[in-house]
């Protein structure tokens, strides 16, 4: 009976850690950001959706694993590295935002572009990698925040916390990328694409501004 109760207690602790990781991970990634905006657009255009989703998941899972494994404390002690990432991110996001605003202004051509592949897999991969890795908030959220909280559970419970956070990432990006096609009827109108591009531009420039201030 004692063995059974111990097992149930361990299961409860692991389940609680998994749920905590799932909830915190979801709350950090669901808010609209550079990654989400790009994956949504790829899903609507049906361009390299699987590749974009897979890269986002791979980056998140890797950073969460590094954070819970102790990398968070190391990164927190390297402010110069974060500064380099921050300014590189500012430049990239500013340029990408300008491109989105230009697309919103031009308008014409979105309907045709949505029906054909106009971006190479290499370009899509490099873009989503840049959006994922050139934003210091990604490191602060996954490596530092999730890492420090997960490490606080101690081994082996911290692994369940990390698994919960990773599960949130897998589910969210998969749903966002492949669920976007349900919105395609809405985006049969050019104005909808203009609005989406304008929103993406605002998001990119907003994140860039937040990195500067």
- pLDDT, tens digit (0-9, with 9 covering 90-100), for 166-213: 999 999 999 999 999 898 888 777 788 888 888 888 988 988 887 787
What pTM value is reported for the model?
0.75
Bigger pLDDT: 150 vs 109: 150
Rounded Cα–Cα distance for residues 142 and 61 (Å): 9
CB 146, CB 12: distance < 8 Å: no
pLDDT in tens, 72-118: 566 666 677 767 777 887 888 898 889 889 888 886 444 444 444 46
Q: Is the pLDDT of residue 6 over 70?
A: no
pLDDT tens-place string over residues 27-73: 888 776 788 889 998 999 899 999 999 999 999 999 999 888 776 56
Cβ(17)–Cβ(160) under 8 Å? Answer: yes
78: which DSSP letter?
-
The alpha-carbon radius of gyration of the chain (Å, integer) is 19
Is residue 113 exposed (0-12), middle (13-18) or buried (19+ Cβ within 10 Å)? middle
- CA dihedral sign, ordered 198, 201, 206, 207: positive
Q: Report residue 61 CA to chain centroid gap.
A: 10
């Amino acid at each position: 009976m004692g063995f059974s109760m111990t097992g149930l207690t361990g299961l409860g602790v692991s389940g609680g850690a998994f749920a905590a990781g799932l909830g915190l991970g979801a709350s950090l990634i669901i808010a609209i950001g550079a990654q989400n905006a790009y994956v949504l657009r790829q899903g609507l255009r049906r361009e390299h959706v699987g590749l974009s989703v897979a890269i986002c998941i791979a980056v998140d899972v890797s950073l969460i694993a590094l954070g819970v494994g102790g990398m968070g404390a190391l990164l927190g002690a390297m402010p110069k590295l974060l500064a380099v990432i921050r300014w590189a991110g500012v430049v990239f996001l500013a340029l990408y935002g300008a491109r989105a605003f230009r697309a919103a202004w031009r308008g014409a051509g979105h309907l045709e572009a949505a029906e054909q592949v106009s971006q190479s897999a290499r370009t899509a991969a490099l873009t989503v990698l840049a959006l994922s890795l050139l934003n210091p908030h990604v490191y602060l959220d996954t490596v530092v925040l999730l890492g420090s909280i997960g490490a606080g559970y101690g081994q082996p419970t911290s692994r369940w916390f990390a698994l919960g956070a990773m599960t949130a990432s897998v589910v969210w990006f998969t749903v966002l990328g492949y669920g976007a096609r349900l919105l395609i009827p809405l985006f049969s109108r050019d104005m909808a694409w203009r609005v989406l591009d304008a929103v993406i531009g605002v998001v990119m420039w907003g994140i860039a501004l937040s990195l500067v201030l």
